[in-house]
């Protein structure tokens, strides 16, 4: 349909159809305005989402900055303890080997064997007590570090969950108050 025939058709319409055409133009304008407002709303939501993402990135960087030294110290403590535990294990192994060797060598005299066994047992107990103390300290330190890491992660995550819940509640309230949200 050409423009000229559309204009001619418009001139020959009766008053009712002209009124309908006028109403139709008004409603199309209202729809265009609503779409523009919706686009503006999405733009605002996008800006807030970008700000939230920037904030979350900052929290993640701060968390990494705070937990990095703790993890480094834990690794350093474990690396420092590894040679000591290895040395003690070798000492205990050598003591055990010495006890076996002495037991085989000194079968002739029961008194000497008994004395050697008692000496080796006391050394082994002392080494094991030392090893137990060092391992207990290492496990306690690791547990303390774990609690510290957990506590430093929980607080920011709770805050983030609260912010997200607030945003969700605000969006739900906006949808509820909008004419499109009422069914």
CB 95 within 8 A of CB 123: yes
DSSP state of 133: H
Measured CA to CA, the distance from residue 49 to residue 171 in angstroms comes to 12
pTM value is 0.33
Query: Which pLDDT tens digit goes with each residue over 24-64?
Result: 899 999 999 999 999 999 999 999 999 999 999 999 888 88
Residues 76-101 have pLDDT tens digits of 887 887 787 788 888 878 887 777 77
Query: What is the pLDDT at residue 144?
Result: 82
Confidence category of residue 3, pLDDT binned at 50, 70, 90: very low
Q: For the segment 112-155, what is each residue's pLDDT rounded down to a tens digit? A: 777 888 888 888 888 888 888 888 887 888 888 878 888 878 88
What own/partner pairs with CB < 8 Å and gap ≥ 24 does 80-83 have?
Answer: 81/134, 81/138
What gap in Å lies between CA 25 and CA 48, rounded to an integer? 35
Contact 146, 78 (CB under 8 A): no
């Amino acid at each position: 349909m050409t423009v000229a025939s559309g204009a001619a058709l418009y001139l020959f319409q009766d008053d009712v159809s002209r009124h309908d055409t006028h109403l139709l133009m008004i409603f199309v304008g209202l729809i265009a305005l609503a779409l523009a407002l919706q686009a503006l709303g999405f733009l605002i939501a996008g800006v807030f989402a970008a700000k939230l993402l920037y904030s979350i990135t900052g929290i993640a960087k701060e968390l990494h900055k705070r937990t990095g030294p703790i993890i480094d110290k834990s690794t350093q403590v474990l690396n420092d303890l590894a040679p000591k535990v290895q040395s003690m294990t070798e000492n205990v192994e050598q003591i055990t080997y010495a006890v076996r060797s002495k037991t085989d060598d000194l079968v002739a005299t029961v008194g000497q064997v008994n004395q050697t066994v008692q000496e080796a047992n006391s050394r082994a107990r002392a080494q094991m007590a030392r090893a137990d103390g060092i391992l207990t300290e290492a496990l306690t330190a690791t547990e303390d570090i774990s609690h510290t890491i957990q506590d430093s992660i929980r607080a920011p995550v709770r805050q983030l969950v609260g912010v997200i819940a607030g945003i969700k509640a605000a969006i739900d309230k906006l949808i509820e108050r909008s004419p499109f949200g009422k069914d």
